[in-house]
């Protein structure tokens, strides 16, 4: 996993905090589906409602794709939050767009992948958020099973967990992110989303071991 650009990472993090796509609540932690307690909740779908932020994200994801994956022939969004982001990128790049379901459609054609399946086509996967990487890499595996050549993945934000880095390394997939947790903390501190040392220390501790934080 790598950041596209450190300056972009700071700007994107600042904007996500500003529109409350990223919320920090160490005193009232969120509970993830995994059962983990978390002081942060990230909902990048909110960026779609703010044209300035939406365009900032779109422009830099396009730059990331053009720089790291110049041979891209199609864009694949991961359902559900990666669908609108991916469609925006495909439209600007003039490329075909498809998306990958988390499970096959329960009726009709029962598709896992929606859109034209073209075996051998070079595709870049688009995610809004990467945590452990499990669902993202499942989409990659589904695309490969359908015959696509997956060049890599781009995402708006990642928590930067070691387990995610290991999962992507083992899968042989390059992940390029616009921003991450490490880039977000200084922006939160500078803009008073973090107001004391105890809060900062709690946020740092969560990042070290989220599975036991808050227990």
Residue list for the binding site for orotate: 131
Q: Which of 171, 83, 95, 181 is nearest to 130 (CA)?
A: 181
SS3 27: coil
Per the annotation, binding residues are 101, 105, 107, 127-135
Phi, psi for 23 (deg, rounded to 5): -120, 135
Contact assessment for residue 14 and residue 192, using Cβ atoms and an 8 Å cutoff? no
Q: Which token pair is 24?
A: 């920090």
Burial class (CB within 10 angstroms; exposed 0-12, middle 13-18, buried 19+) of 198: exposed
How many DSSP H helices and E strands does the chain contain? 7, 11
Per the annotation, binding residues for 5-phospho-alpha-D-ribose 1-diphosphate are 101, 105, 107, 127-135
CA distances from 194 to 26, 181, 188, 198 (A): 10, 14, 6, 9
SS3 82: helix
Instruction: Please give the angle made by the CA atoms of 7, 53 and 20, to the nearest 5 degrees.
Output: 95
């Amino acid at each position: 996993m790598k950041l596209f650009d450190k300056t972009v990472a700071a700007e994107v993090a600042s904007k996500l905090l500003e529109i409350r796509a990223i919320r920090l609540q160490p005193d009232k932690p969120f509970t993830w589906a995994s059962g983990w307690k978390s002081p942060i909740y990230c909902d990048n779908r909110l960026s779609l409602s703010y044209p300035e932020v939406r365009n900032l994200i779109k422009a830099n994801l396009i730059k990331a794709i053009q720089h790291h994956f110049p041979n891209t022939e199609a864009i694949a969004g991961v359902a559900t939050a990666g669908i609108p982001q991916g469609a925006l990128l495909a439209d600007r790049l003039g490329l075909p767009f498809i998306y990958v379901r988390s499970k096959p459609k329960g009726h009709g054609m029962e598709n896992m992948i929606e859109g034209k399946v073209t075996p051998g086509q070079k595709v870049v996967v688009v995610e809004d958020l990467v945590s452990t990487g499990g669902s993202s890499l499942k989409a990659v595996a589904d695309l490969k099973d359908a015959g696509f050549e997956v060049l890599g993945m781009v995402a708006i934000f990642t928590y930067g967990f070691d387990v995610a880095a290991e999962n992507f390394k083992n899968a042989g997939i390059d992940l390029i992110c616009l921003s991450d947790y490490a880039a977000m903390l200084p922006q939160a501190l500078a803009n008073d989303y973090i107001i004391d040392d105890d809060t900062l220390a709690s946020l740092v501790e969560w990042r070290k071991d989220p599975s036991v934080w808050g227990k």
